[in-house]
Amino acid sequence: MLVTFSGESDKGGDHPINSVSGVTPGGQLITDLATGGPELEEARGMSLDSAGRLYVANAKKDRSQIVRYLPAQSPGRYQGGTIFADPGTTAGISHPYATAFARNGDLLIASQDTFLVSRVTPAGIAAATAPALSSSDYTGYNFFPGTWAPAAERSKVANSPPKVPTEAGGLKAPRSVAVLDNRMFVADSGDAAVKTYDLTSGEFLGAALANADGRPTGLVLGRRAGIPTSTALYVGLQDSNQIVAVDVAQCSANCPSTVFAKDGTGGVALKAPAGLAVVQDKGGTALLAASRKGFAVNRYSLDSDGASSASVLIKDLPDTPEQLLAVNQGARP
């Protein structure tokens, strides 16, 4: 499992980590797994493309880059970093937080300072702006090229477009992004919601999770514990220290949800959950959760025993864990 950290000394811990790191199934921390290219500061979300290349959000405000690495010969390691996208190629990128791939290979990028999701082609250039944002309702808005989910806040970036109301799909504080078939889910930490968008038209389909008990941050798709044929979107909620499972198999708005895990489930502390990942290990299928303020990564079973069999994969981390990404350690990703 790959993990990024805050990299900021004022967030706690005794050693800021500004590199892509990893945690082995045995709970060992390994740093500097992505080498070469631009220096990383405040690395956040990560994604792998079909060729095994790793994309990392470099979130430092004066960097605002998506850095792409090639797979190295050693499994789980990456090399030769280059800038794939930045504000020079896609104006909406500013303080990027998370990435996810659409089915056609476009990369979706959530940015904290422009409050939107940009869509970038495999060539590293802004894709066409969502057709839904070209309707008469948005005459004169002049969205940044490649905007796929608009902002509900006006940013300080030059030529920032007007705000789109939250009820029309505007984002107040986008964090993680997840894709299921032709739908994009965006954790809107500022609006206590996970919002759904069509990946063909960009149409806002509603909030899969609304009025959440806390700030949605991490997202990952998996199955419900003990139900192999199910599809669940797991959502980490800061403030309430919970992970919620949302049934999104056939649902895009106001979907059924249940609390999967919370602080104390299985006797394990959960403090401000952020990044989430679903992995296969010797114990079966599991959900891993970055416990930010707990300086730990927790493991929750997705098999028949469910979250009650929670354990701590690694604790006493030297920096705040932010985002997680499962990779195949047995062979080149």
| Section 238-253 average pLDDT | 97
Per-residue pLDDT band at 324 (split at 50, 70, 90) = very high
pLDDT of 263 > 60? The answer is: yes
pLDDT of 330 > 50? The answer is: no
Tell me what pLDDT residue 331 has: 37
Q: How far, in Å, CA of 136 to CA of 127, rounded?
A: 21
Q: How far, in Å, CA of 116 to CA of 174, rounded?
A: 7
Give the up-direction half-sphere exposure of residue 42: CA atoms within 13 A in the CB hemisphere.
16
CB 152 within 8 A of CB 174: no
| Section 225-238 average pLDDT | 91
What CATH number corresponds to the domain at position 137?
Answer: 2.120.10.30
Q: What is the pLDDT of residues 85-96, one digit of tens each?
A: 999 999 999 999
| Section 169-194 average pLDDT | 98
pTM, two decimal places: 0.96
Both tokens assigned to 192? 């206590």
Q: Assess if residue 263 is contained within a domain.
A: yes
Cα–chain center distance at 102: 13
| Partners of 34 in the β-ladder | 78
Q: How many domains does the chain divide into?
A: 1
Per-residue pLDDT band at 328 (split at 50, 70, 90) = low
Per-residue pLDDT band at 75 (split at 50, 70, 90) = confident
Q: Residue 264 sits in which domain range? A: 2-292+299-325
Q: How far, in Å, CA of 268 to CA of 244, rounded?
A: 16
Q: How far, in Å, CA of 288 to CA of 219, rounded?
A: 11
Q: Assess if residue 94 is contained within a domain.
A: yes
Per-residue pLDDT band at 283 (split at 50, 70, 90) = confident
Q: What is the pLDDT of residues 98-155, one digit of tens each?
A: 999 999 999 999 999 999 999 999 999 999 999 999 998 999 899 999 999 999 999 9
Q: Assess if residue 333 is contained within a domain.
A: no
Tell me what pLDDT residue 80 has: 97
Q: Assess if residue 165 is contained within a domain.
A: yes
Return the closest-CA partner of residue 144 out of 203, 198, 94.
94
Place of tokens 């499972």: 245
* Longest distance between any two alpha carbons in the chain, whole Å: 55
| Section 306-332 average pLDDT | 86
CB 324 within 8 A of CB 276: yes
Q: Which of 129-133, 183-187, 212-216, 227-231 has the lowest mean pLDDT?
A: 227-231
Q: How far, in Å, CA of 247 to CA of 239, rounded?
A: 22
Cα angle 297, 179, 106; round to 5: 115
Tell me what pLDDT residue 332 has: 34
Q: Assess if residue 331 is contained within a domain.
A: no
CB 193 within 8 A of CB 212: yes
| Partners of 323 in the β-ladder | 4
| Section 207-221 average pLDDT | 97
Tell me what pLDDT residue 333 has: 31
Q: Assess if residue 168 is contained within a domain.
A: yes
Q: How far, in Å, CA of 85 to CA of 117, rounded?
A: 13
Q: Assess if residue 332 is contained within a domain.
A: no
CB 43 within 8 A of CB 32: no
| β-pairing verdict for 174-180 and 183-188 | antiparallel
Q: What is the pLDDT of residues 43-62, one digit of tens each?
A: 999 999 999 999 999 998 88
- Residue 62 neighbours by CB under 8 Å, 6+ apart: none
Q: Assess if residue 200 is contained within a domain.
A: yes
CB 252 within 8 A of CB 235: no
| Percent over 90 (pLDDT), the chain | 87
